[in-house]
Amino acid sequence: MTHAELLQFCLAKNGAYIDHPFGPDSDIIKVEGKIFAQLFVLHGKETATLNCERMTGEFYRQMFPGVVVRGYHCPPVQQPYFNTFPLDGVPDAIIFEMAEHSYATVVGKLPKYKQKKLLEEV
């Protein structure tokens, strides 16, 4: 998968938009002001960090040991809730699955009226 393909997938989600709060070298995709995907280059490889529930994050880290890792740039207390991985290290179908889970995780934490608004846009 390429950076552009994952970016396009994420931006197709209801309410999703791109931001650059950390500078022009990273694409941050948000919904209602909350980050659900971070796309950047790390050690010369296109990389993503996606939100996740703690157990789901552990599942993917066990499925792809040493490839999918805890959010490398997150404070230790937040690391279990983020997965970082190179885009060429995980099958596309799994990346789409993780991105879908990330979006759902972030939307699920929004106030009910905002969740309803996003779901009505479907």
Which has the closest alpha carbon to 67: 95, 30, 39, 31?
Answer: 95
- pLDDT per residue over 59-116, tens digit each? 999 999 999 998 887 766 777 889 999 999 999 999 999 999 999 999 999 999 999 9
Dist. CA 90–CA 98, nearest whole Å: 10
Fold of 3-120: Aspartate Aminotransferase, domain 1 (3.90.1150)
Confidence of residue 120 (pLDDT cuts 50, 70, 90): confident
Dist. CA 112–CA 25, nearest whole Å: 33
Dist. CA 31–CA 87, nearest whole Å: 22
Cβ atoms of 86 and 10 closer than 8 Å: no
pTM score: 0.92
Residues 106/107/108/111 CA torsion (nearest 10 deg) = 110
Over the chain, what is the mean pLDDT? Answer: 93
Residue ranges per structural domain of the chain: 3-120
